[in-house]
Each structure stands twice: as structure tokens, then as C-alpha cells.
Structure 1
Amino acid sequence: MPKAPDGPRRRGVLRPLGAWCARHFVLVIVAWLVALVGIQVLQRAYGGDYSDNFTLPGTQSQRGSEVVTAHEPKAGGYSSQVVLHDARPLTGFGDQIADAVGALRKLPDVLTVQSPLPPPGRPPTPPPPGTPNVGPLSTDGRTAYLTVRFSVPPSTLDPDYLNGVDRAVQPLRSAGVQVEYGGPLGERARPRPDDRVSEAIGFGVAVLVLLAGFGSVLAAGVPLLTALIGVICGLGVLGLIAAAFTFATVSPTLATMIGLGVGIDYALFLITRHRQNIMDGIDPVTAATTRLTNHLTDDVLPRAVRGTDAHGYVTGATAAQVDFLDIVAARLPLIIAVVVGLAFLIILIVFRGVLVAVKAAVLNVLSIAASYGVVVAVFQWGWGGPALGVSGTVPIESYVPMMMFAIIFGLSMDCEIFLLSRVHEAWLRTGDAEASVAHALEITARVITCAALIMVSVFAAFIVSDTVVVKMLGLGLAVSVLIDATVVRLLLVPAVLTLLGRSAWWTPRWLDRLLPQLSPEGTADAP
């Protein structure tokens, strides 16, 4: 028989809190309903707006922007393009282009407007021989763009502002010229994405999976209801925090996607354990441009100002994105190391097995690495992109790997602890390592499968979103959960534990004495 850890188990606060909530369930339900209504009222009264405008204090792109704003305001700002195309040379529409330029300059928050045409009487300047044409007017003269610089990010402009832009370019459209908006102005003109279809699909699949898994309308409804309340409260709190901090416009969609999937998943684990406790007789109350920018920052500008007191900066949206990418890339290894290290330590403290902790950390990273590969293949290499509504190749957003790692690792550890708890219980009771793994797999496989189906369905439903970042996260999270719940959790983990046998739960005596005594579910005699 395995030796139980020495010393008393430390009593945590969660078990007494859960027992108190169970005894006073009416009060707890009323408190949550009051919180739900109160948060919504506060959010409507004091909530902030979501914005894609952000700053990176201390970076060279931000310092460059501040220098430009202080000394030449009209040269800074936020640029967008008004793209023109016609079957005939656009030089024949000089009057209409001039009228559009003049009307755009009169709009609020417009700093400058650059016409693509040369001054009257002067022919377009061709590019040097052997070099591509990168000017605002194409070589055949049939495509061009106006560069409009705004004093504020176009994404923050009122939707009615586009009506003024439409009126300014109306002479060109009346003449038959095709006019489209590019850059941030084009993003502002794009219809706001409606993710209600994704949410409905994920919620509907969750209902079917829970009904099939529990065979009870009440037991299936509780995870859905608690997840829905959690999402609504979370969105309200997010709106309140947005009054003080900047959150991207995609934040509510990501919060809904993660909240539904994770909320249902956690509730499913709790209800399953609750039902198991009842069955056992226990009282229930008791997650090319970059290189150019770096070349300008590291090589071109230093050479240009060498020997002078001047300082050179590369600023603008692209430079800010490169700085943000550099910050994320520099901190991602540290984040991964800290999270994996803490997970290893927690598993070691709770289950008292060095090899179990190593196995958990390695296999959880495996599912994350596999999901990274799928996201790169689909979006960066273009494999199957058109089937998901992605035309061509798309670069991976810089913060997507970090978000995927945080979310996926958390979900993987939840499933890991859920499975290991049952294995450890059987091991302490019987001392038979192989039989303990088989017993734990028998009683947890259906729950893990149901939880995975729900999360995969919720995450995959967001692949139909029109926002590319949401597509990336939806696909990456869905693939990772699928791999983790099948290949890792129900195949590799049991296989590795069976091969390790008794050695899986080995811990040196000196280390066992140093580690605190913790139980994942508290002591059995807790009130």
C-alpha cells in the first residue's frame, strides 16, 4: 500500500465556502441575480467604449510620434487611403479628384489630403528603370489612391462621419470611378461583425451534448445557466473597466467565446463530482514589413544622423505594431517558463509525484504546440483557408500565441487535475497503479469527452466570424481542446501513467518534508 503523506492536510477556504453556499442557496442565487442586474445598470451608466487605439510608452515609435506631433502636426496623425480605379486613365478625372481632395480637407479631424495626380500641366513622374512603381498612381494610370491623414484614429470616429466622406468623393462616383476606402478608414466602413450566430451555434451544441451526457434537463441546464450568467456579468465588468483602461473592439467577442466554453466546462466538472459524491453516499452540502521597419530603426536612421545631435525615429501604425511584436516576443518565453513552472509545482505539491508533475507539464505543452502548428498552416501557409473564409495567407497576430497559451494551458491543467485526482484516490486506496489508471479513466472519460465536445463546439462556432483574430483564436482553441481531450488526456496520459507504475508517485523524502500538505478538495471532515 502507498504511504500517505505525513502531517495534517491544510484546510483551505473553498470547501467551507462551497458548504456555506450550499446551505444558503437561496441567498446565493438572489445575490447573483442582484449582481447581474446591478452590473448591467452600472455598465450602461458608467461603462466605457472599446477602442483599437493604444500607445506603447517608452518605445521608439511612440517617441517618434510625439516628436512629429510637437514639431510638425500635419505630418503625423493616422493615415488611410481612398482608392480609385477606372477603365480609363484617372488623369482624365482631374477636376473630380481635385473636388474630392478639397472636400475631404474640410472634414473635421482631417490634417492633410494628398492627391495622387501631379500638378496641372506636369506629366506623372515614372519610377527609375528597373524599380517597381510604389507611388500613388499606377503605371497604367487607372488605379490611384488619395492619402488622408487624421488627427485621431479613424476607428474612433462616429459612424456618421463616413457619410461626410461619401459626400466628399461623390463627384468621382458620379463620374463612374470606383471608390473604396483602405486602411483604418476601410475598417471603420466595414459593417460591425455580428457574432450572435457563432454564440447560438455553440450554445445549441452545448445543450445537446449536456442532455446526452446527463440525461436530465435540470442537470444539463445548470451549466448553461451559470455560464450565461458568468458571461453577462463578465461583459458588464469588462465594460466598466473599459472606462479606465483601453480594450480592443474584439474584446467582448473573445470574452463571450472563452466565457461560454470555460464556464460550461467548469460547471460540468463540478456537477459530475457532485453526482459522484451522491452516488458514493456523501452529503452534497458537506488558458517583409517588420524587417523594413527594423532596418530603418537599426541601420538607416542611425547612419543618417551619425555625427549629429539629432535622433531618428520610425513612427506610425506599422512601427508601433513592430514594437508591440518585439515586446510580446521578448516576454513570451518568460511567461511560458513561469506558467509551466508553477503548474509543475502545483501538481507536485498536490499529488506528491515528481514524474507525474513532469509528465503533466510536457504533455500540456504538446497540445499547445500542435494547435500552434494548425493555426500557422491555415492562416500563414493558406492550407484550407478558403474553406474557413480566409482568402490568401494572413500573418498571425502578435498577441494570439500568448493568449492561446494562457487559455489552453489553463484548460489542459483543469482536465489533468480532474483525471489525476481520480487516479490518485484509487492509488492511495488500492496501491495498484495499473488498476488505478483504468478505474479513473472509466469514471472520467465520459465527462472529459462531454466537456471537450462543448468547448470545441463553442470555440469552433467562432470560426465563422468576420474578424480574422477571432477566427484564429476560435480555430486554435478548438483544435487544442480536441487534441488535448483525445490524444493527450484519454490516450497519452493513461499510457504514460501505466508505464511509470509505482514510480509515478515517487517523491524524495527530503522533498516531501519540504512541500506543504494540500488537498485538491479539502479534508473529508470539513464542515
Structure 2
Amino acid sequence: MLTGWLIVLVAVAGLGLLFHGSFQNSKSIPGSPAQTALTTMDRHWPDADRPAAQIVFQAAPGHKLTEPGFQGPLRVSLAAAGKVAGVTAVGDPAANGMVSADGRTAVAPVDFSAAKDSDVPAATLDALKATGAPAEKVGLTVLYGGDAYASTTSPVGPTELIGILVALAILVITFGSMLSAGMPLLTAVLGVIGSMTAIMGLASAVGISENAPTLAVMLGLAVGIDYALFIVSRHRAQLAGGMPVGESVAKATATAGSAVVFAGATVLIALAGLSVAGVPMLTSMGLASAGAVAMAVIMALTLLPALMAALGRRLVPKPGSRAARTSHPDRATMGTKWVSGVLRHPVRNLIVVTVGLGAMAVPALQLTMALTDDGSNPESTATRQAYDMIGRAFGPGANGPLIVLVEGADAKATVRTATAVEQKLKSVDGVAGISGVDIAKDRTAARIRVTPTTGPRTQATSDLVSRLNKVTAPVARAGGGHVAVTGQTAVSIDVSDKLSGALAPFAVVVVGLSLVLLMIAFRSIAIPVKATVGFLLSVGAAFGATVAVFQWGWLAGPLGVPSLGPVASFAPIIVMAVLFGLAMDYEVFLVSAMREEYGHRKDARRAIVVGARNASRVVTSAALIMIAVFLDFLFGKDPDVMPIAFALAFGVLVDAFLVRMTLVPAVLALLGDRAWRIPRRLDRILPHLDVEGESLTTGADGADRATTGDAWETESAAR
């Protein structure tokens, strides 16, 4: 098995690196009004959608660019920029109306020969930057921005390596053994390598978003460590009880491994469900992450058992060690102490946790969403500095202009309609400026550049797009033509609206899915309802904390948030999908241990305590590892990933410690035996799913091999 996996990983990595493709930065919805109009505009102006950049020149306060000492060097820089290999055109700021009212700032647009959705070669971008030297020598500030200079972040960097080291430290503390701690880390890293190289290879055949690898690495690493942790923990507990190595490997895979399959399936379904939103970018992120999670599950069920078998009894906790002491059935762990404290006052704890999480969720009512742009980048980047400079000089709307596309039956109709539309635009509220009418070479289309008074990520600009479509449509119809508002800003607004509308239906699907899956797993109605309510509280608290940090600015400085404002439009739906899967993971691993004990003694209160003793330490370690991994991606400074990483870290913290470790025991204590009941008619309809291998209670020799409840005590007494 080990040799086979080595061959497979080398083959996948080799093919992925050999045939690797490039990731796309397109954020659009095929068929949306703005995207359809943009595609139409590309037919009339073939070079309109190619990569572009902006050169921003600014004089010091009290000076103007028209001063003799600046004019010559400015013209030299612009001329040199036009001669750079790969540059097709450099616009004249004066001719394009891109000189600020105070005369201090000018913006020159730059067009490249690179194909649509492809990156401009770094050599071309560096050569373009060098052309600003004459202007800089005379004291002008020269900045470069635009899509061509958009920064790209690697899915794995120094901060992620720190996260791996933190995860290793948590595993060493959990197991008390470097050898045992290394196995979950090894299988998780190998799984990430396999899934990442596969994604790189697939990028040459299908479109994959540039954010997909980062999300896939984050989830693949987190769940890969956690799933292996559950199985290794079960295996070592059985070895400590005297079970033979071969039997223990098989039983750990059949019991904890079955729970891993169920938990992984919930994550896979939730991530694959992101495709129902109909946004290609979101679909690729969901499917790529689902592939990484699937790889983690496969590694945990195949490669990990082979490693455990190969290491044999070297994984047995040493006598007298902390790991050996905590595996003793009569020893009170932190989990049992915590749960026992909860059970002493279940009503009080239930009320406090519910009210507290409800209060945390209140800010979520003010959640706003938009796609990120250069204004979302850290202030240290040149693209952000150019963005801010343009906004201050020309108004915030200059960073997100809109294009009004007019089509006519013939040349005369096009000009007539476009002129009428231009006059109508002058009376629309929220318009800061109009560029004039640009007629296409085929004379059947015209475009008008509109500068809003507000920034591209504001609700006011979104409202302006609606007003523009409404007021220009009658004018176009009267002239026998067609009009549409487009441009990257309008496309982004369409994507944001689509994702916002998909959030509520997706939540309904996720909630319904959790009810059905848990009802099948635990043969109960109360447990699925309780788990679903707990999940909603966790999601609400995560969204509330995200609003407080990324919109209100709470702790934004220490956390390194580059800018305040709407979060990425796809962040909430991804957080909901991933957190659903993780919440169900913790629910399954914790409650299944309680149900296993309840099946032995039919003592509801004892089942809660014993189940917490057997599972809480592993769940706690898994949650801490998840939080560490997510926080590392938060400090990676990717504006698209930061709110996702923060919301997941905070959501896991709340869900693992407040919901699963506190709310769940309190509710189960109040329900007693009723928590484990289900109507007979419903029980007959639902399929039977053995999540924790409950049927595997006897070994080949007929002896009881269960590791909880009576079996624990029997083995302990025999020893």
C-alpha cells in the first residue's frame, strides 16, 4: 500500500506539473445582463477586454503637471511606455480627460497585446515600470495599477508553514509522541500535494478560479489532519487496552474510519452544492475544495492504516506517560470535568450559551457583500496606492466606471440613439461625469463612459446601475435601438446580487440536509434538530464577528485587515458550506461516542459523561488544529480569503467549545432517554447507517473488543 501510494503521488504530481495550466481571475456570470452586454461590446471593440493597466502621475502639493519642468519628462515617460514590447497603446491623459481639476494628477491607460484572461508577462510589466524614471527624477510620483498589476498570492507560504508547526505541536501534546503526531501531518500534507498538483493539471483543460487552490489547500490541510487524528487516537486507545496491532488497525478504520467517511461526505455534499449558485468562479472553488477533502478521506482510510500497521507496537503509549494515563477508563479528563460542570446546571448553561450566541449574531444583520478590487489590497501595495490616489484626485467613482452600450439598426440610428441617451444620462442622480460618445468601427454600436459619484463596492453604485438601465431603456426603444449598462463594475454587481440571492436557498438546503443525515445516523429526531439549531447559532456568530471586524473595524489593526467595507460576495456561502461540514464532523464524533455508550447501558446521563471522556479530547485537539490552520490563512493578506479564514476560525471556535461541548450535553441531559428515540414508522423508512461501527463489537475470537463502556472496564479489570 505504501509503495502504491508513492507511485500514485509521484505520477499525479508529475502529470500535474507537466501539463499545468493557468488559473483564471474572471469573476463573472455567463448570461447575466452586464456580462452579455460586455461580450457584445467585445465584438464591436475586440481589444476592449484585454489586460490593461494605469500609470498615475502626481505632482507635489502646490505644483501642477503643466509646469515646464514636468512636461518634458512626462512626455518622455509616456513615449517610452508606448515602445515597450507587449504594449499596444498608451493613452494621452489630456486627450482622455484624465487630468484632475487641480492639475496635480494624471492617469494614462495602457493596453497590452496579451490575450483575454491571460497574465501579462512579468518582463513587460517590469519594463513598463522602468519608463517612469524620467518623471520620477524631476520629483513626480509615478504609480502603476490596474488588472495587469493585480497581485497574486501563493496558496502556500511562510504563514501556512507556521500553521503546520502549530498543528504538530498540538498533535504532540495530544498524543505525547512525535511518531504518532507525525502520521496525521504526513498524510494531510501528502493529500494536499496530490490534490494541488491534480488541480494544476486540470486547470489546463477547464477554467479554475485563482482563489480555488488557496481554499483547497486550507480545507485539505485542516480536515486531513483532523480525520487522521480521529483514527490514530482510536487505534492508540485500543493498543493501550491490549488489542493486537492488526485487529486494532482494522477496527479503528472500521469504527472511527466509518465516522470519517460520514463526516467527509457531509463536507463534500456541502462544497459540491456551491455549484447550484450558477457562478463558475464559485463552482470551481467548491469542486476543487471537495476534491481536496475527498483526497483527505481516501488518505485516512488507505495510507494511514498502512502506516499504523508498519509502525506496529511503537504507537503504544508508554506506561506511566500522560497518554497512557488519559486512556484509562476511570481517569477524569478535562472533557469529563467540563461536561460534568455543564450537567450540574444544564438549564442555566443552555440559556447563557443560546443568548450569548444570539447576541454575537446580531451584527450579521448588517452584512454587506461585494467583489473585491484594488481598493481591498493592503496599503503597502502599489495597486492600492494607485487606487487611492485616483479616488482622491477624480472621486471614488473613477475607480469603477460604468459603460453604457448602445446598439442601433444602422449607423444613423446608432448615432441618433447614442446622442439621445447621452443627454438623458446628464440628468441622472449619482453621475459624476460622462465621457462622450465613442462609435465603433462598424458604426452599429456606441459606448458612453459614465463615472459614478460613489465607489464601485457601494450600494449607491449598485442602485445607480438599476437607475441607468431604467431611464435609458425608453430612449433606446424610441430610437429603435438597444441599450445596456456594462463594464467590470456592472458585472461585479451582477455577480454579487446573484450570490446574495443564492445564500438563503442554500441555507435551506444545508439545514434540510443536516436534519436528514443526522436523523439517519443517530435514529433520533431531537438530536438532528438540536444539531441544526446549534449550527445556525455558530454560523450567525461567525457572520456577526466578521461584520464587526471587516466592516466595523473591531480588532482590524491587530488582525491586519487591509481595508474596511463589504466582504467578498462568495465568502458567506462558502463559510456556510464549510462550517456546516465541520459542525457535523464534531457532532458525529462527539455524539456517536455518547450513543455508543448509551447502547451499552441505556443510561442517558452516564452516556454523556463517558462519551465526552472518549471523544472530547480528540474533538478539542481537532478544533484547535482547524483554528490554527485557518488563522494562518487569515494572516496571508489575500483580501478574498481573509474573511473566509476568519469566519471559519471563529465559527469552529464557537461550534466546538460552546455548541458541541456545552450546548449539546445540556440539551441531551434535559431530554434524557427521549433524545435517543425515533417513531417506529420513521425508523422503518430511514436507511440504517452504522456511523461508528456499532455492529463491530466482537473480534475474531468472539471476545468483546469495544473500547468504551463495559468493554473498557472489562479489559481494565482483566489487565
TM over 0.5: yes
Sort the Cα spacing of 1:103 and 1:526 in 2 relative to 1 into closer, same or farther, 3 A: farther
CA deviations on 1:356-411 (whole Å, 9 max, x unpaired) are 11111110121122111112211122222121222441420111111111111111
Cα deviation for residue 474 of structure 1 reads 2.1
Cα deviation for residue 52 of structure 1 reads 0.9
Matched, 1:50 2:23: yes
Give the aligned partner of residue 130 of structure 1.
Answer: none
Cα deviation for residue 242 of structure 1 reads 1.0
Cα deviation for residue 526 of structure 1 reads 9.6
Contact 1:137 1:143 in 2 (8 A): yes
Give the aligned partner of residue 17 of structure 1.
Answer: none
The code of the aligned residue for 1:172 comes to: A
Contact 2:465 2:490 in 1 (8 A): no
| In 1: Cα distance, 2:174 partner to 2:195 partner | 27
Cα deviation for residue 278 of structure 1 reads 4.0
Matched residue of 1:441: which SS?
A: helix
Matched, 1:89 2:64: yes
Q: 1:171 aligns with which of 127, 130, 134?
A: 134
Matched, 1:249 2:241: no
The code of the aligned residue for 2:122 comes to: P
Give the aligned partner of residue 598 of structure 2.
Answer: 427
Cα deviation for residue 309 of structure 1 reads 3.4
4+ residue runs over 6 A deviation = none
Cα deviation for residue 207 of structure 1 reads 1.2
Q: 2:34 aligns with which of 61, 72, 78?
A: 61
Sort the Cα spacing of 1:386 and 1:303 in 2 relative to 1 into closer, same or farther, 3 A: farther
| In 2: Cα distance, 1:502 partner to 1:257 partner | 39
CA deviations on 1:296-316 (whole Å, 9 max, x unpaired) are 344243244232432222222
Sort the Cα spacing of 1:526 and 1:338 in 2 relative to 1 into closer, same or farther, 3 A: farther
Q: 2:568 aligns with which of 382, 397, 403?
A: 397
Cα deviation for residue 456 of structure 1 reads 1.0
Length, aligned pairs only: 483
| In 2: Cα distance, 1:150 partner to 1:301 partner | 32
CA deviations on 1:412-441 (whole Å, 9 max, x unpaired) are 101100011111112222122112111111
Give the aligned partner of residue 663 of structure 2.
Answer: 492
Q: 1:114 aligns with which of 91, 96, 108?
A: 91
| In 2: Cα distance, 1:62 partner to 1:392 partner | 27
Contact 1:43 1:236 in 2 (8 A): yes
Give the aligned partner of residue 271 of structure 1.
Answer: 232
| In 2: Cα distance, 1:374 partner to 1:277 partner | 41
Q: 2:652 aligns with which of 451, 464, 481?
A: 481
The code of the aligned residue for 2:147 comes to: P
Contact 2:129 2:144 in 1 (8 A): no
| In 2: Cα distance, 1:194 partner to 1:62 partner | 29
Give the aligned partner of residue 191 of structure 2.
Answer: 230
Q: Mean Cα displacement is larger for which, 212-221 or 244-253?
A: 244-253
| In 1: Cα distance, 2:535 partner to 2:234 partner | 23
Matched residue of 1:329: which SS?
A: helix
| In 1: Cα distance, 2:471 partner to 2:132 partner | 38
Contact 1:349 1:518 in 2 (8 A): yes
Cα deviation for residue 447 of structure 1 reads 0.9
Q: 1:206 aligns with which of 158, 167, 174?
A: 167
Matched, 1:296 2:465: yes
Cα deviation for residue 461 of structure 1 reads 1.6
Matched residue of 1:41: which SS?
A: helix
Percentage identity across aligned positions? 37
Map residues 32-47 of structure 1 onto 2, 5 A cutoff.
32-47=5-20
Contact 2:515 2:529 in 1 (8 A): yes
CA deviations on 1:90-115 (whole Å, 9 max, x unpaired) are 12233433344444444566565433
| In 2: Cα distance, 1:225 partner to 1:37 partner | 15
Cα deviation for residue 280 of structure 1 reads 5.7
Matched residue of 2:478: which SS?
A: coil
Sort the Cα spacing of 1:69 and 1:391 in 2 relative to 1 into closer, same or farther, 3 A: closer
Matched residue of 1:160: which SS?
A: helix
Runs of 5+ unmatched residues, structure 2: 252-266, 268-453, 701-719
Give the aligned partner of residue 131 of structure 1.
Answer: none
Give the aligned partner of residue 546 of structure 2.
Answer: 375
CA deviations on 1:2-26 (whole Å, 9 max, x unpaired) are xxxxxxxxxxxxxxxxxxxxxxxxx
The code of the aligned residue for 2:34 comes to: S
| In 2: Cα distance, 1:213 partner to 1:75 partner | 57
CA deviations on 1:478-505 (whole Å, 9 max, x unpaired) are 1111111111111111111111112212
Sort the Cα spacing of 1:182 and 1:300 in 2 relative to 1 into closer, same or farther, 3 A: farther
Matched residue of 1:314: which SS?
A: strand
Matched residue of 1:312: which SS?
A: strand
Map residues 103-502 of structure 1 onto 2, 5 A cutoff.
103-107=80-84, 110=87, 112-117=89-94, 136-150=98-112, 152=115, 156-187=119-150, 190=151, 195-279=156-240, 283-284=247-248, 285-286=250-251, 289=456, 290-297=459-466, 298-502=469-673
The code of the aligned residue for 1:498 comes to: A
| In 1: Cα distance, 2:71 partner to 2:699 partner | 84
Sort the Cα spacing of 1:213 and 1:108 in 2 relative to 1 into closer, same or farther, 3 A: same
Sort the Cα spacing of 1:46 and 1:193 in 2 relative to 1 into closer, same or farther, 3 A: closer
Contact 1:213 1:450 in 2 (8 A): yes
CA deviations on 1:262-284 (whole Å, 9 max, x unpaired) are 11011111112223444566622
Q: Given the two structures, how large is their TM-score scaled by the length of structure 2?
A: 0.63
| In 2: Cα distance, 1:107 partner to 1:521 partner | 65
The code of the aligned residue for 1:296 comes to: V
Q: Mean Cα displacement is larger for which, 311-320 or 227-236?
A: 311-320
| In 2: Cα distance, 1:229 partner to 1:380 partner | 37
Give the aligned partner of residue 380 of structure 2.
Answer: none
Q: Mean Cα displacement is larger for which, 175-184 or 218-227?
A: 175-184
| In 1: Cα distance, 2:88 partner to 2:480 partner | 29
Q: Mean Cα displacement is larger for which, 337-346 or 143-152?
A: 143-152
| In 1: Cα distance, 2:154 partner to 2:65 partner | 34
| In 2: Cα distance, 1:325 partner to 1:380 partner | 17
Runs of 5+ unmatched residues, structure 1: 1-27, 120-134
Sort the Cα spacing of 1:299 and 1:95 in 2 relative to 1 into closer, same or farther, 3 A: farther
Q: Mean Cα displacement is larger for which, 303-312 or 472-481?
A: 303-312
Matched residue of 2:567: which SS?
A: coil
Contact 2:86 2:124 in 1 (8 A): no
Cα deviation for residue 218 of structure 1 reads 1.9
Matched residue of 2:484: which SS?
A: coil
**RMSD value, Cα:** 2.5
Q: Mean Cα displacement is larger for which, 400-409 or 72-81?
A: 72-81
Matched residue of 1:342: which SS?
A: helix
| In 2: Cα distance, 1:29 partner to 1:77 partner | 48
Sort the Cα spacing of 1:138 and 1:526 in 2 relative to 1 into closer, same or farther, 3 A: farther
Contact 1:116 1:137 in 2 (8 A): yes
Give the aligned partner of residue 389 of structure 2.
Answer: none
Give the aligned partner of residue 21 of structure 1.
Answer: none
| In 2: Cα distance, 1:496 partner to 1:106 partner | 72
Contact 1:154 1:184 in 2 (8 A): no
| In 2: Cα distance, 1:313 partner to 1:52 partner | 24
| In 2: Cα distance, 1:504 partner to 1:249 partner | 45
| In 1: Cα distance, 2:73 partner to 2:501 partner | 49
| In 1: Cα distance, 2:89 partner to 2:677 partner | 71
